Structure 1
Amino acid sequence: MEMEYSVGALASARSLQTFAYIYTSMATFWTYDYVCSIFDEWTFLLQSRWTKVKGLYIVTRYTPFLLFVSHLYLNYIPNEDPDKCQTINNISSCFSLISVICSECFFIIRTYALWNNNKIVLAGMLFAYLAVIVASVGILFSATANAPFVTSAIPGITGCYQSTGSVELFVPFVLLFALEFGLISLTVIRAIQSWRATNNPLYTVLIKHNIFYYACGLFFSLVNIFTSLLLQYAYNGMFQDFQVVTLAILATRMHLHLWHADRNLRGSDALMVFPMSDVSSAGRTP
């Protein structure tokens, strides 16, 4: 006997399938990027000296792997236990937060360097950064608790979703948008102030990287604000971790490019790493 399902059940099933496809595509994209950059990456890991920023690079680079493992499991587990779904989603959310926090750290340090280690600029960035982190963590976990996970009523459809999306989920992306808009503004102001007076190619690389990174961050934040507000079922969160993974790839790729550019400039001092803690040397005008 063929069972009939409600329109909502069918819509949620389609959203879960789309969500699973997107995560599988993201995992494939991350793997492809890793394979393409594996030579440059292992050159950096083996030949650069150990610094805090190298540790930050490793965490930023490999946290998405843990995120994919947990989320792909969440997407394909048998539809039996919503409590398990919520637990795994909380773990995945922690990995997402770690990844985006580390990615942003790279560019806060870079912006600090562009401003010649200006303590006032650093204090302002850190205050805004910590405020965004604290507010986002509180909103993210409270919103998840208020809109618990459910499973599809249709046999063969695996994965979990929130039956009623929480409107608060768009707020972290608004905060991230505001933070990145402030940081890109600082980068543009600094570029206008010292562009003609600086001939250092690494300084130019820093500015271009910062602007491109923040432009991508602003774009994805806007996308996630609208999807969180306008879409239902699993659709409202399908691009959230896509932003996280893309920013992690950009941050690590740009750091590798900067390190190799500095290495080529140093010539015989090829084993000298260009740590982000010392990146201010590229931002100083002669």
Structure 2
Amino acid sequence: MKFARYGAPGQEKPALVDKAGQLRDLSGVLPDLAGAVLGDLPKVKPESLPLVEGNPRLGPPVGDVGKLICIGLNYIDHAAELGVDPPKDPVVFLKATSAIIGPHDTVVLPRGSKRGDWEVELGIVIGKRAKYVSEDSALDHVAGYTIVNDVSERGFQLERSGQWTKGKSCDTFGPMGPWLVTPDEIGDVQALDLSVDVNGARMQSGNSRLMIFTVAQIVAYLSDLMTLEPGDVIATGTPPGVGMGHKPPRYLSAGDEMVLRISGLGEQRSPVAQDP
């Protein structure tokens, strides 16, 4: 099943996406797609729900995200394009949840930004509390999957001393959605195509089969470090083709449009602006 949230920022309502791609209002069934609800998503017939009229804004498909955890350098071909050795353990960092926006909202480059970059990533949404789980049982704790754009400011990330978080957590740097898709609809999560187009030109492409650490391995590994709670989101790394990896590098500017796609997870269209 495909779930979504629609409405003004901070006032989103839950919805189900029917086979025609139309939104069906789910607010009469549950208050939001957040927290413990994600561990027991409702199984209802879309046609039994009221149709959402018009073309409302889509918000992030998960509300009240507790943690947004990111995995770096997790595609073998992305590590190669950057000229670094594949990591022996997952590279883990946190991205501020205040960066999260809807899938078609505007990404605003902060003051002083000259090296804004895109990163299409498969997002894992945790549905059930996970602590010290095995790889064999890790996927039992997953509510579904979504698209995350781990937007980055490379100058902030790499040239300001300290952690990557500085270049990852700027406001609007976490477009998420459009949908939360349940595992049964995805099939093999390690066989998904990912891509980014900027202004109509293909910049990034890859497949999740080239992840160094699989979804199950990531969930199990993180559950040894911290308790994963329902509503936590994990961005699992990006394939080759980021702006920094192009020769010469190609970075974002005001007026650009990023289009992100992952097999079965839909499409994001994010315009880019510059904070004056």
Work out whether the TM-score is over 0.5: no
TM-score by length of 1: 0.24
TM-score by length of 2: 0.25
Structure number with higher helix proportion: 1
Structure number with higher strand proportion: 2
Which protein is bigger by CA-based radius of gyration?
1
Could you say which structure has the greater relative contact order, defined with CA pairs below 8 angstroms and 6 or more residues apart? Answer: 1
